[in-house]
Structure 1
Amino acid sequence: MRRLTTLFPSEFLEEHAEELGVVERNRTLQIPVLVWALVFGFAAGESRTLAGFRRSYNATADEPISPGGFYQRLTPSLATYLRDLVERGLDEVAVPNAVDADIDRFRDVMIADGTVLRLHEFLSEVYEGRHEEQAGARLHLLHNATEQMIERIDVTDETAHDSTLFKTGSWLHGRLILLDLAYFKYRRFALIDENDGFFVSRLKQNANPVITAELREWRGRAIPLEGKQIQDVVDDLSRQYIDVEVEAEFKRGQYEGTRSLDTKRFRVVGVRNEDADDYHLYITNLPRDEFLPSDLATLYRCRWEVETLFRELKTQYELDEFDTRNPAVVEILLYAALLSLLVSRELLDLVTEQADDEIVFPPERWAATFRSHAQLILHELGEYLGYSPPPLLERLIDDAQKIHQQRPILQETLATATQPRCEG
């Protein structure tokens, strides 16, 4: 429990909530309990409803909160507060490295990616989807594979392209950026190179740069490639690797109302996929004398770290199943999911430290284990923090009673509907 309260100290949780106006000074709402109830309530699938979060809160806090009192706390300021906690956690929590690759050559290896979250159709004005009568949010992550942490998160509507969230600049110096096809732009590659950074990306199928030189000599009657376009000849090759220099034409950024044309030379590498009888084509600025084609394929597999995170968020935490019409609640649940992931990783780090060296903890198996023990962890955490919830019987009465006096329960509705017929 000390590990978790060090990650998010109660004093910090309370003070920052006051700064943002999430709670008033008399603190009728116990903000540390609310945070932990959201974290562990989201982890436990059976409690991942607003009523379930309230029950988790009431099972931990000194004083229960009514449904109306709980729901009125689900505000944009609470969403902002939880986002701040996520950003704080990102600085503290390491995400385990799933790929064994030699990355010491670089200051950092960065992975940019995004995923779409499907939302209630009534939110389409706030979170515009790519199709009519649909709503969707896009979660963008910038993951540092070297430091094993997420450096940045952004949430936009579905129509926002991943590419627009990736900003080039001096921060790229000495870093290797692994990009999927959503970020493919020759101008972006040129800017990474000009900021003394490095990149590896898959080559788009409709990208067809001209080959200016072959970087590997082949014995015998090899097909000459210089002067040809890469996509025009790739189907005619049977060699294990392709390793060539290409020249790509692109438009520079707008300057004084015009965009000038420019060219840049990059390296294109192909690694043969024997099962599919084709090539995986990569474009990069990494030099051949340091990185062979097989090295590039190994480096690019680091991207699976982010893919694994997205898969865990969607399969274990059902991140894309938000059945609410309230935009603030969408953000609250999204950041609660990310906080659950960060807390899960912090506990995994603790478990790994305590376990024997030969024991391995697969991330998704650990996630399922964490979820199954979430309510127990919340109970012990509440005791550790000194909270004394009401007796169990009192909580059962509070949770099970009829809430809305004007809303008939099913038995009352049936009795009213059948009464005239019975009298007749």
Structure 2
Amino acid sequence: MEIIPQISHAMHTLLTTTTEAIAAAQQYVKRPDRAKFSPSTLVQTLVYGWLAQPTATVEQLAQMACRIGVAVSPQAIDQRFTMATADLLHQLVIASIHPVIAANPVTLPILQRFASVRVHDSTSIGLPDALTGIWRGCGNATTGGGATLKCGVQLDVLTGAITALDLVNGRAADRALPLQQRDLPPGSLLLADRGFYHLERLRQHDQQGVLWITRLPSNAVVAYPGHAAQPLATFVRELGPVATWDCAIIVGKEQQVHGRLIVTRVTQAVADQRRARIRQHAQHQHRMPSAAALALADWNVVFTNVPRLLISTTEVWTVMRVRWQIELLFKLWKSHARIDDWRTANPARVLCEIYAKLIGLVFQQWLLAASSWHDPERSLFKAAPIVAGMAGELASTQADPPQFLRVLTRLAALIQRWARTNKRQQPPTTAQRLRALTAA
């Protein structure tokens, strides 16, 4: 809770001083009715309006403007859905990540072994084809998908901080995201998926004292130290009937990285499901499924530079479950915040809505980090409606910093009290599994 004043200052600065500075640099204000709507009050209206109601109409946004102290018509708001407003909001999304709001570490000893625990992933938002010139997707005018926005996010699972938020063309590969090149604090643990696999980047992290656990692509080549390299699928197949295997290995041919290869056999049912997905994906892309991918479906395979003394074979698989936190974050963004849903055919309004919602979601994550991130049983899905329910109070007190701070403090207390997962025995939650590792 001690970081609530920091959040109050960051929110107030972004929605006032920073907004006006960016607007001035862009020469945004050209309308004669600035006395009614300044750049900052417009941004506040959109951010709080869609934070309170993700499907808000212009009438509901006008009501939110009244709570901020600006009496405008729905038509006045509708007229401000321009590319200039979208550009302003886009720059504010970028600015919102600079104050990294981090809470006390989550009370899970196995994660507290590391300076931070980073996971990153991306989610894509399909856009109207009219926006192809701004955010280009993989499709075209014939196939559709010509305009797509990709959001790359890096989350510190230890403290709840969003440490990176990249907005790029939908056609960009995950491993080309800017967040992939950001340096991490020494002693951090990075949990990476196949889409971000980049051997040279792993080598750089290793040299910088950053630890990582990553899934390997099916076309990887591996070797015992001092032996010839061979395809990963061949190497794993030659292990024979073992259920679990953990040994020092070298990955790569020209570029080589040393680490531990950890392999665990999955059940036949899981393997069959994986092969079905591989074949379905290949069919969708009009190609034959990879023989290596089909062969590796029998196994869970990860590569890591974390020493055994710091994390055991069994612990590796449980810690990898933490990656699910970022999937939950994206699920929340789309199911509750409706970041990929809008009620308009106006391309500029679509962008305004997405950017304003992203700013609100950054604020929401700050509040969750401040109020309950230390609790492993926190619930993002229970916190979101609480934040939405008080968005109007935040808007109406925005111009009164002491009162705004009091509302934020009360909001954080509500999240801490009510935003917790329901207890269950079967199957255990990831938090329960992580706690059990140190309780044993």
Taking structure 2 as the reference length, what is the TM-score of the superposition? 0.68
Tell whether the 8 Å contact from 2:249 to 2:259 is kept in structure 1 after alignment: yes
Match of 2:168 in 1: 156
Q: 1:159 deviation in Å?
A: 0.5
Partners of 2:334 and 2:106 in 1: CA distance? 18
RMSD between aligned alpha carbons?
3.9
1:87-134 Cα distance to aligned partner (Å, 9 max, x none):
346625447978946234433322221111111133233322222222
Matched, 1:313 2:333: yes
Question: Residue 273 of structure 1 is aligned with which of 266, 279, 292?
Answer: 266
- SS of the equivalent of 1:313 reads helix
Match of 1:131 in 2: 139
Which of 175-184 and 270-279 deviates more? 270-279
Partners of 1:170 and 1:375 in 2: CA distance? 35
- Summarize the alignment of residues 78-227 of structure 1 with structure 2, pairs less than 5 Å apart: 79-81=87-89, 83-84=91-92, 87-88=95-96, 91=99, 93-94=101-102, 100=108, 102-132=110-140, 133-134=144-145, 135-165=147-177, 166-168=179-181, 171=184, 173-212=186-225
Tell whether the 8 Å contact from 1:60 to 1:378 is kept in structure 2 after alignment: no
Tell whether the 8 Å contact from 2:48 to 2:392 is kept in structure 1 after alignment: no
- Summarize the alignment of residues 45-84 of structure 1 with structure 2, pairs less than 5 Å apart: 45=53, 47-50=55-58, 52-58=60-66, 60-65=68-73, 67-68=75-76, 70-72=78-80, 74-76=82-84, 79-81=87-89, 83-84=91-92
Match of 1:19 in 2: 24
**Bigger Rg, which one:** 1
Matched, 1:381 2:383: no
Tell whether the 8 Å contact from 1:271 to 1:294 is kept in structure 2 after alignment: no
Match of 2:246 in 1: 243
Match of 2:321 in 1: 301
Task: Give identity over the alignment, percent.
Answer: 18
Structure 2 spans left out of the alignment, 5+ residues: 272-297, 403-440
Tell whether the 8 Å contact from 2:55 to 2:342 is kept in structure 1 after alignment: no
Name the aligned partner's letter for residue 80 of structure 2. Q
Name the aligned partner's letter for residue 117 of structure 2. V
Name the aligned partner's letter for residue 258 of structure 2. R
Name the aligned partner's letter for residue 192 of structure 1. H
Matched, 1:366 2:383: yes
Partners of 2:49 and 2:326 in 1: CA distance? 24
Taking structure 1 as the reference length, what is the TM-score of the superposition? 0.70
Name the aligned partner's letter for residue 366 of structure 1. A
Partners of 1:194 and 1:168 in 2: CA distance? 14
